[in-house]
Amino acid sequence: MTERLVEVKALDAALQRFTRARHWEQYHSPKNLAMALTGEVGELVEIFQWLTEEQSRSVAQNPETAEAVRDELADVLIYLVELASALGVDLNEAINAKLVKNALKYPADPAA
Amino acid sequence: MTERLVEVKALDAALQRFTRARHWEQYHSPKNLAMALTGEVGELVEIFQWLTEEQSRSVAQNPETAEAVRDELADVLIYLVELASALGVDLNEAINAKLVKNALKYPADPAA
Amino acid sequence: MTERLVEVKALDAALQRFTRARHWEQYHSPKNLAMALTGEVGELVEIFQWLTEEQSRSVAQNPETAEAVRDELADVLIYLVELASALGVDLNEAINAKLVKNALKYPADPAA
Amino acid sequence: MTERLVEVKALDAALQRFTRARHWEQYHSPKNLAMALTGEVGELVEIFQWLTEEQSRSVAQNPETAEAVRDELADVLIYLVELASALGVDLNEAINAKLVKNALKYPADPAA
């Protein structure tokens, strides 16, 4: 039984309408979407690259970076959802399966 | 008014429990999580790098790559949700705001 | 014996002068330089993301992308040389060692 | 006049022989090489992701990471040189042009 951990169907549908209305389907192969995802992650990383770990905690409160970081997080999620959709992968199922693997790979500290 | 496009709260809570049970909070600064996100996207891209666009469409059906691509998509989503959470960014609000910007930046073809 | 395959000492020296003259040493930890490298690779990838493989071959001839692709290739090399230097890694030795490993891992087709 | 800052011709020639001997030319479009470069940078970043900036300085001395970091730096340089070669871009010229731009964009501190 799969727990409901994430729900992205409404976003997936919105993105499909957006793409179709612009005739972009031809560009949105999984290979290309994986590249676009890379590009957005690169833009996200650039916000953090010269900051200390401590400074990085207030990026979303800092007026100079607050909007940019929200936009880049959104862009990463947009391409991730488009890529999963183009591949026919259910992200909720994929997450559930991966969390089980992670729990086996990294057992919790019994003293915790 | 913000439309409910994505829902990641249950995943966020599950990841926080997972992290706390392993005493990993100390490592999970936004800066470090942004790097971890990069690493996972790199692993995802490696699945696609030598494939044609056409071949890339069947990656999730191909037995050689099906499990890997689901795992990597999940890993990207995991670190994205952890990063947003560490920054105090609501991904649903960020997505809604970004889709409005995208619609203004790329007007739909009126003939479509 | 190590073959002389790459020579980056003059660039390394030029970058060190550039960095010192701007008091940027404090920001250029290996961790930060690895992030900066990621960001530049992201910008490079964005040039290619919606192109077919065939179109990608003429990116440096196309007036719309020629300058950008040269700049991004240069930026990637700049941060790679800075990172190797900050780590005390001799890129020529690293390359020689890696090519030996690659030759053992991927034997050449004897019929070629 | 272009200063000789980097020299990668011998590596370029070695990589071309290596690729031809394995019939890999068909896979090495600029688009694919840009993706391969991304993948290698992702592997490089994974070495640094949970380290502090201070810890990141000794990655090439630490026996657990020394070989991996040299290998990943080499892999990034390999795909960068292959990509520049496939595009017909002279990296030394590109670097010279970019350093001029950088010097104009970021003037040195006159007091330094």
Question: What sign has the CA pseudo-torsion D32, D35, D37, D43?
Answer: negative
CB A60 within 8 A of CB A66: yes
Asked whether the beta carbons of B15 and A6 are under 8 A apart, the reply is: no
| Cα D42 to Cα C8, C84, D37, distances in angstroms | 23, 16, 9
Residues on chain D touching C101 (C-beta within 8 angstroms): 71
C-beta atoms of A39 and C36 within 8 A:
no
Q: What is the DSSP string of A46-101?
A: HHHTTS-HHHHTTTTTSTTTHHHHHHHHHHHHHHHHHHHHHHT--HHHHHHHHHHH
DSSP alpha helices (H): ranges in chain D? 9-21, 30-48, 53-56, 66-87, 91-105
CA–CA distances in Å: residue D8 to residues B96, C59, D4: 47, 21, 11
CB nearest to A38's CB, from B34, B41, B51: B41
Query: What ipTM, to 2 d.p.?
Result: 0.96
How far apart CA C71 and CA C55 sit, in angstroms, is: 19
pLDDT tens, residue by residue, A23-33: 999 999 999 99
D49 interfacial to chain A (CB closer than 8 Å) = no
Tokens of A44: 């996200």
Task: Judge if pTM exceeds 0.90.
Answer: yes
| C7: β partners | D7
Q: With CB atoms and an 8 Å threshold, state whether B39 touches D27.
A: no
Q: Does C36 sit within 8 Å of A49, measured CB to CB?
A: yes
Neighbouring C-beta atoms of residue B16, cutoff 10 Å: 16
Which pLDDT value is given to residue C3?
85
Q: Which residue of D has its CA nearest to C98?
A: D71
Q: By C-alpha distance, which of B80, B102, B95, B84 is closest to B2? A: B95
- Rounded Cα distance, D38 and C53, in Å: 16
Residue C53 sits at the chain D interface (C-beta within 8 Å): yes
> Which whole number is the average pLDDT over B42-62?
98
A6 interfacial to chain D (CB closer than 8 Å): no
- Chain D residue closest in CA terms to A52: D53
The one-digit pLDDT tens for each residue of chain D (112 residues) are 578 999 999 999 999 999 999 999 999 999 999 999 999 999 999 999 999 999 999 999 999 999 999 999 999 999 999 999 999 999 999 999 999 999 999 998 776 5
Q: Compute and round to an integer the Cα radius of gyration of chain D.
A: 17
